[in-house]
Amino acid sequence: MKMTFRWYGEQDSIPLQYIKQIPNMSGVVTAVYDVPVGQVWDEEKISRLKKLCDGAELAMEVIESVPVHEDIKLGKPSRDKLIENYAQTIRNLGKYGVKCICYNFMPVFDWLRTDLKHKNADGSTCLCYDHEALMKLDPKNLHLPGWDESYTPEELNGLLGAYAGITHERLFENLVYFLQKIMPACDEAGIDMAIHPDDPPWDMFGLPRIITGEESYARLFAAVPNKHNGITFCTGSLGAGRENDLVKLAKKYADRIFFAHIRQLRYEGKMNFSEAGHRTEDGSLDIYAIVRALIESGFGGYVRPDHGRNIWGEDGKPGYGLYDRALGATYLNGLFEGIEKTIGVRAVK
Ligand code: DNO
């Protein structure tokens, strides 16, 4: 496996040098942030980002995310041009050594939480999700801590209206249409597309969500069998769905898992959860069993620690501070080494 760390580009308060100092860090997971969704990422911007990573001796092989324009998800006539642009971005990224693109197909909202700074008894803070609290909010006038408020209320209103007729079925067809059109660019560039599960994995504000567990993957790979069509295995997102058996999923789809976000959460009631340190004993997911299943099934892809708490007085970007993610990476390194040596299998491709 290749251990990586998410880095939000030059605006990230964490210097690349600090990331490099984390043991076993092979590269960063990053993105070009200043190109509007739907437009091509030109080579100049990609090359500039790569130079920064190279300068810190960190590989730039994973991009998270190249966002998918809402018109593509909605299946509007404008989608063909937007998909062409996406394919061009894939080709451009391939020229600079990128091997994997993480993306999602969630309508309008990406991941959602109700509290980004929940105070734990030990003084650390973490992200939390409270379903009832979220459902009380008005999606047309959503103010969530840390949520990217790039839409005006009018735009948001229009977008939510546009999704009114979009069923799960339609959304899935639109995903398949998108993937079929970009697969030739992936073949050409040698890039794997790794879809991120919906977080949390259920419908939100009446908007359909379709990448929620085993059945979604079975349908997805039946519809688009190309070997570049795969998964970002996010244990926290999938794990929030109590019905998902992560060990089973890891085994079943090891060859489609190009990228793993390995993090912990603690169940609080029926749909609610809070996030925790990465160790198995710190939450509800058996991180050991998941990692073991990945290794036993031949996984050798990219890994990153995910959503850390804010600890040691750090006031980092919620989920994305330095210290707890570095601890998470170190825990995962140890877990991989221990399991690899115990079962005599190296997690390499
Ligand atoms: C949250 C992340 C997501 C993820 C996107 C991928 O912390 O895991 O925002 O980057 O859904 O497209």
**Structural domains for the chain:** 2-343 (3.20.20.150)
Catalytic residue, from 196, 217, 324, 331: name it.
Answer: 196
Predicted pLDDT at 147: 62
Contact between residue 29 and residue 102 where contact means Cβ atoms under 8 Å apart: yes
Residue recorded with tokens 């560039």: 189
Q: Which residue's CA lies nearest to atom 2 of ligand 1?
A: 111
The closest-lying atom of ligand 1 relative to the alpha carbon of residue 261 is: 8
Residue 307 bears catalytic tag: yes
User: Encoding tokens for residue 282?
Assistant: 């710190």
**How many angstroms separate the alpha carbon of residue 111 from the centre of ligand 1?**
7
Contact between residue 202 and residue 212 where contact means Cβ atoms under 8 Å apart: yes
344 — alpha (psi -120 to 50), left (phi > 0) or beta?
left
Predicted pLDDT at 220: 98
| C-alpha triplet 187, 252, 196: angle, nearest 5° | 55
Residues with CB under 6 A from ligand 1: 64-65, 102-104, 110-111, 196, 261, 307, 319
Under DSSP, is residue 92 helix (H, G, I), strand (E, B) or coil?
Answer: helix
**How many angstroms separate the alpha carbon of residue 346 from the centre of ligand 1?**
28
The closest-lying atom of ligand 1 relative to the alpha carbon of residue 234 is: 8
User: Encoding tokens for residue 272?
Assistant: 């609610």
The tens-digit pLDDT sequence of the chain (349 residues) is: 999 999 999 999 999 999 999 999 999 999 999 999 999 999 999 999 999 999 999 999 999 999 999 999 999 999 999 999 999 999 999 999 999 999 999 999 889 999 999 999 999 999 999 999 999 988 877 766 656 657 788 888 899 999 999 999 999 999 999 999 999 999 999 999 999 999 999 999 999 999 999 999 999 999 999 999 999 999 999 999 999 999 999 999 999 999 999 999 999 988 999 999 999 999 999 999 999 999 999 999 999 999 999 999 999 999 999 999 999 999 999 999 999 999 999 999 8
Residue 126 bears catalytic tag: no
Task: List Cβ neighbours of 268 (8 Å cut-off, separation of 6 or more).
Answer: 128, 274
